[in-house]
Structure 1
Amino acid sequence: MLCLLGVLLIVAAVTDLRSRIISNRLNLAVAALAPLWWIASGLSPWPDMAGQLLTAAIVFAIFAGLFALGWMGGGDVKLLGALALWFPWQAVLSLIVLMAVLGGVVTIVTVVHHRMTRRLGQPEIPYGVAISLSALWLIWPTIF
C-alpha cells in the first residue's frame, strides 16, 4: 500500500514539475487509498479513523486559506489534505515542517532558473515537489 502511495507521490512531483498541475484524479487516488491503509494498519473507527479525518479536515482548511490568499495552488492543497489522511497528526506536523524547508529550496531553485533563462512574469513554484518529497521521506523507513 505504501509503495503505491510512493508511486503516486513520484507522479505528483513529476507532473507538477513539468506542467505545474497536480491532477484531481491523482489526489482522489491518494485520498481513496487511505481508508484501505487504515484497515490494513488496524486502526479503530473511533478514535483513530475519526482522528485521521479531523486532522485532514484541519490541514485542508488551513491550506485552503493559503490558497485563497494566492500563496498555494489548489492541487497542492488537495494533495496535502489527502496525505493528511495517511499519517497521525504528529507525523503531519513533521510533513508540514519538512515541506516548508524543502519548499524554500524548490522556490530558490525555481526563481534562479527563471532569472537565468530570462523568462518574463512571476515564476510558478512547483510546490508539489516539496510536498511529495516530504511525504516520501516519512514513508521511506516503513517501506524499507
Structure 2
Amino acid sequence: MLLMMIPLALSLEAVYYDLQKREIPDGVVLRVLFTGLLATFLSWHGVSFVNALLGMVIGFAFVLPFALAGGIGGGDLKFVGALGAWLGVAGVMSLLFWSAMFGMLAAIITRCSGRNDFPFAPAITLGLCVAIFWPGGIDELISWLRSGLV
C-alpha cells in the first residue's frame, strides 16, 4: 500500500499541471509509466508484468474514443494508460469507473457554472485514490444498490 503513494504523488503533479496549463506533460506520464513498470519488474507489488501491460492497453483503449472525439486530452489518455502499469487490469477498470463518476460530477458543476471544459486530471486522481484505498468499492456499490432496489 505504501508503494502506491508513488503513483499518487505523481498524479498530484499531473493535477497541478492540468489545473495550471490544461495539459499533463509527457515527463509526468513517463515517470508514472517507468516507475510502474520498474515496480512490476522488481516484483514490488502484486501486479504481474503481463497484467501491467494489459492494464496499460485497457486504460489507453477505453479512453481513446473520448480523446478522438475531443472530450478528453491526449495527456489524460497517456496518463490513464501509464497508471495501468501500476494497477493492472482490475485496478485500471476500477480507476476508469471512479474517474468517470468524478468526471461526471465535475462536468455537471462546470456546466452549471457556465463553463464548457475542465481539467480531467483531478477526476483521474480521485479515481486513483478510490481504486487504491477502496479496491472492493465497485462490488460494495453494486451490493448496496441491489439491497436498496430489491
* TM score, norm. by length of structure 1: 0.80
Aligned to 1:11: 13
Aligned residues of 2:7 and 2:86 also touching (Cα < 8 A): no
Q: How many residue pairs align between the two structures?
A: 131
User: 1:89 & 1:61 partners in 2: Cα distance?
Assistant: 12
- Superposed displacement of residue 105, structure 1: 1.0
User: 1:17 & 1:136 partners in 2: Cα distance?
Assistant: 18
Aligned to 1:123: 116
Q: 1:30 aligns with which of 32, 42, 46?
A: 32
For structure 1, the residue ranges without an aligned partner over 5 or more in a row are 116-121
Aligned to 1:111: 111
Matched, 1:56 2:56: yes
Q: Which whole-Å deviations, capped at 9, do the CAs of 1:21-48 have from their partners, x for residues lacking one?
A: 11111011000001222121265xxxx2
- Letter of the aligned partner of 2:109 in structure 1? V
- Superposed displacement of residue 139, structure 1: 2.4
User: 1:107 & 1:14 partners in 2: Cα distance?
Assistant: 19
CA RMSD of aligned residues (A): 2.0
Matched, 1:136 2:138: no
Query: Following superposition of structure 1 onto structure 2, how do residues 82-121 of structure 1 map, counting pairs within 5 Å?
Result: 82-113=82-113, 115=114
Residue 88 of structure 1: SS of its match in structure 2?
A: helix
Sort the Cα spacing of 1:100 and 1:16 in 2 relative to 1 into closer, same or farther, 3 A.
Answer: same
- Superposed displacement of residue 6, structure 1: 1.6
- Letter of the aligned partner of 2:54 in structure 1? L
- Letter of the aligned partner of 1:57 in structure 2? V
Percent identity for Structure 1 against Structure 2: 28
For structure 2, the residue ranges without an aligned partner over 5 or more in a row are 136-150
Of structures 1 and 2, the one scoring higher in RCO (CA 8 A, sep 6+) is 1
Matched, 1:65 2:58: no
| Structure 1 residue ranges, 4+ long, deviating more than 6 angstroms after superposition | none
Sort the Cα spacing of 1:141 and 1:71 in 2 relative to 1 into closer, same or farther, 3 A.
Answer: closer
User: 1:37 & 1:80 partners in 2: Cα distance?
Assistant: 17
Query: Following superposition of structure 1 onto structure 2, how do residues 69-80 of structure 1 map, counting pairs within 5 Å?
Result: 69-80=69-80
